[in-house]
C-alpha cells in the first residue's frame, strides 16, 4: 500500500487532507426538490423559465431563450442565491448550473432538481460538480433501461471532499472563478473577431468593398468553369487490413471549416485500388454533400483520399485561388444547403454544384488578396482559441489539485 503524505488521510472517495471532511450534498443542502412544469404560457417579460436546454453545455451558464413562463408557480419555484440546479433526465443528465442573480428571476423547470447549499460555500460545491469524478459518478448512477436519469435521493447521496474552514473553500472557488473569467474574456474576444470576419466576408466577397489597387467589373462563372469536381469512396469495411495503411482518408465528420491536417483513419494502396477512393492533392477544397454535415467545408493540408460523401473541388490554377473558393463557399453555405433540402436526407449532388454561378473578382490576384485577409483573420481567431483552450486545461488541472486538497492555497 502506498504510504500517505503527512497530513493526509484515506477516505472512501480518495486521499484528502486531515483537516478536510467528506460530505453528502444532501447534508449541506436545504429547499431540495423539483422544478415546475410549463402547463401554459403567460410571458410578460418579468420572469424567465430555465430548462435543461437553457444551460450551456460548456460554460454551465444560463442562456436566455424566448420560452414562455408557466402560468402558475410559487416563490418556491424561483431560483435563489445558493441554488445549484441539476439536470435529472436525458442526454444532459448531471449538467449543473449555479444561480447568478444577474440572470434575473428564474423559474425552475420540471426536469431540473434544486439543491440550496447552506452549510458550505455554494461556488466551491458547484465546481465539485464539474470534476471528472462527478461525471463518472453521474454515468454510473444514471445507467438504467431506457432514458438515463437521476433522482433527488441520488443527488443528495453524492459525496464531495470539503475543507472545514470556509475561507479555504472561498479561496479555492475564487481561484477557479478567476480562470473562468479569463476563459470568458477569451470567448468574448473570439466572438468579436468572428463578427468582424463575417462583416469582412460580406463586404469583400460580394464586391461591395474593393481592395486598393484593384478595379474592373466582377464576373459570374459556373463552378465547372473554374474547378473540376470529384468525390471519393469507402474501401470495403469488412477488410480490416485496408485501414492499416499510410494514406490519409477523410470523412465528412472531419470537415470543420478549416484545414484538414490529420485524419482518424488511413488506408492502404490496396484499398485505393479496390475502391472508388482516390488521392486528391494538397489544396483541394472539400464540401460535405449530404447528411448531418451537409455544407461543412475543409481544405486538404496534405494529399489525401476521401469518402464518397465529400465533393472535392480541384481548382483550375489560372481561374481561381483555392482559398478564395473556400471562403466563397463558406459565405454562401446556407444557399447551398437550401438546394439540398428536400424529402428525406438532405443531399446536394455534384450535378447541382457544377452549374452554380459564383460572382468573382476579375483577376486571380484580387481573389488571392481577399483570401489572405480572411486567412489572417482566421489565424487570429485560431490563436485566441488556443489561448482559451490553454486556460481550460489550466482550470481542469487546478480542479483536480485544489478540489482534492492535493495542493493547498491557504
Distance CA 263, CA 247 (A): 9
pLDDT tens digits, one per residue of 208-259: 999 999 999 999 999 999 999 999 999 999 999 999 999 999 999 999 999 9
| 332 and 409 part of one domain | no
Residue 14 and residue 153 in one domain: yes
Residue 347 and residue 395 in one domain: no
Query: Quick check: 40 pLDDT over 50?
Result: no
% of residues, the chain, pLDDT over 90: 80
Q: Is there a contact between 214 and 368 (Cβ–Cβ < 8 Å)?
A: no
Q: Which residue has the cell 483555392?
A: 322
- Give 325 or 36, the one with higher predicted confidence: 325
Confidence band of 41 (pLDDT split at 50, 70, 90): very low
Does the residue 372 lie in any domain? yes
pLDDT of residue 254: 96
Residue 211 resides in a domain: no
Query: For the chain, what is the domain count?
Result: 3
Are 188 and 307 members of one domain?
no
Instruction: Based on the fold, state whether residues 293 and 379 are members of the same structural domain.
Output: no
Same domain, residue pair 152 and 35 = yes
Q: Are residues 130 and 196 in the same domain?
A: no
Residue 35: the pLDDT is 82
In tens, the pLDDT along 256-315 reads 999 999 999 999 999 999 999 999 999 999 999 988 899 999 999 999 999 999 999 999
Q: What is the extent of the structural domain holding 382?
A: 165-206+365-410
Same domain, 156 and 266: no
Mean pLDDT of the chain: 92
**Same domain, yes or no, for 354 and 232?**
yes
pLDDT, residue 291, reads 85
CATH number assigned to the domain comprising residue 375: 1.10.287.1120
Identify the pLDDT of residue 347: 85
Q: Has residue 339 been placed in a domain?
A: yes
Among 142, 49, 144, 152, smallest CA distance to 92 is for 142
Residue 373 is predicted with a pLDDT of 98
End-to-end CA distance of the chain: 29
* Residue 356 lies inside a defined structural domain of this protein: yes
> What is the per-residue pLDDT across 335-373, written as a single tens digit (0 to 9) for each?
988 887 665 677 888 999 999 999 999 999 999 999 999
Helical residues (DSSP H) of 143-208, grouped into ranges: 152-157, 166-204
pTM: 0.86
Whether residue 318 is predicted with pLDDT greater than 70 in this model: the reply is: yes
Question: How far is the CA of 396 from the CAs of 136, 271, 275, 382, in angstroms?
Answer: 15, 41, 44, 21
- Asked if the structure places residue 214 within a domain, the reply is no
Residue 67 pLDDT: 60
pLDDT for position 143: 83
Amino acid at each position: 500500500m502506498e504510504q500517505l503524505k503527512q497530513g493526509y488521510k484515506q477516505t472512501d472517495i480518495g486521499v484528502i487532507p486531515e483537516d478536510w471532511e467528506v460530505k453528502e450534498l444532501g447534508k449541506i443542502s436545504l429547499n431540495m426538490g423539483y422544478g415546475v412544469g410549463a402547463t401554459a404560457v403567460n410571458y410578460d417579460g418579468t420572469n424567465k423559465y430555465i430548462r435543461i436546454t437553457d444551460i450551456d453545455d460548456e460554460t454551465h451558464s444560463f442562456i436566455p431563450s424566448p420560452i414562455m413562463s408557466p402560468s402558475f408557480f410559487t416563490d418556491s419555484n424561483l431560483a435563489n442565491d445558493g441554488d445549484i440546479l441539476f439536470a435529472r433526465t436525458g442526454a444532459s443528465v448531471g449538467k449543473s448550473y449555479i444561480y447568478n442573480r444577474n440572470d434575473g428571476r428564474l423559474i425552475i423547470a420540471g426536469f431540473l432538481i434544486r439543491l440550496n447549499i447552506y452549510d458550505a460555500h455554494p461556488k466551491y460545491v458547484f465546481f465539485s460538480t464539474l470534476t471528472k469524478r462527478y461525471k463518472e459518478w453521474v454515468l454510473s448512477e444514471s445507467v438504467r433501461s431506457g432514458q438515463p436519469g437521476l433522482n433527488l435521493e441520488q443527488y443528495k447521496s453524492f459525496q464531495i471532499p470539503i475543507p472545514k474552514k470556509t475561507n479555504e473553500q472561498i479561496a479555492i472557488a475564487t481561484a477557479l472563478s478567476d480562470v473562468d473569467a479569463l476563459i470568458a474574456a477569451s470567448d468574448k474576444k473570439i466572438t468579436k473577431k468572428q463578427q468582424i470576419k463575417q462583416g469582412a466576408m460580406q463586404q469583400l466577397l460580394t464586391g461591395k468593398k474593393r481592395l486598393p489597387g484593384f478595379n474592373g467589373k466582377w464576373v459570374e462563372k459556373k463552378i465547372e468553369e473554374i474547378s473540376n469536381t470529384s468525390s471519393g469512396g469507402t474501401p470495403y469495411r469488412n477488410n480490416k487490413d485496408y485501414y492499416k495503411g499510410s494514406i490519409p482518408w477523410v470523412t465528412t465528420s472531419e470537415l470543420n471549416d478549416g484545414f484538414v491536417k490529420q485524419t482518424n483513419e488511413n488506408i492502404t494502396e490496396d484499398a485505393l485500388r479496390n475502391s472508388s477512393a482516390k488521392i486528391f492533392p494538397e489544396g483541394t477544397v472539400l464540401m460535405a454533400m449530404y447528411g448531418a454535415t451537409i455544407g461543412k467545408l475543409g481544405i486538404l493540408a496534405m494529399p489525401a483520399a476521401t469518402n464518397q460523401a465529400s465533393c472535392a473541388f480541384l481548382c483550375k490554377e489560372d481561374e481561381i485561388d483555392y482559398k478564395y473558393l473556400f471562403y466563397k463557399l463558406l459565405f454562401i453555405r446556407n444557399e447551398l444547403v437550401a438546394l439540398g433540402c428536400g424529402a428525406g436526407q438532405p443531399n446536394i449532388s455534384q450535378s447541382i454544384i457544377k452549374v452554380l454561378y459564383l460572382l468573382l473578382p476579375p483577376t486571380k490576384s484580387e481573389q488571392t488578396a481577399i483570401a489572405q485577409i480572411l486567412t489572417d483573420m482566421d489565424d487570429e481567431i485560431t490563436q485566441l482559441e488556443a489561448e482559451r483552450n490553454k486556460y481550460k486545461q489550466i482550470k481542469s488541472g487546478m480542479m483536480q489539485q485544489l478540489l482534492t486538497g492535493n495542493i493547498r492555497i491557504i
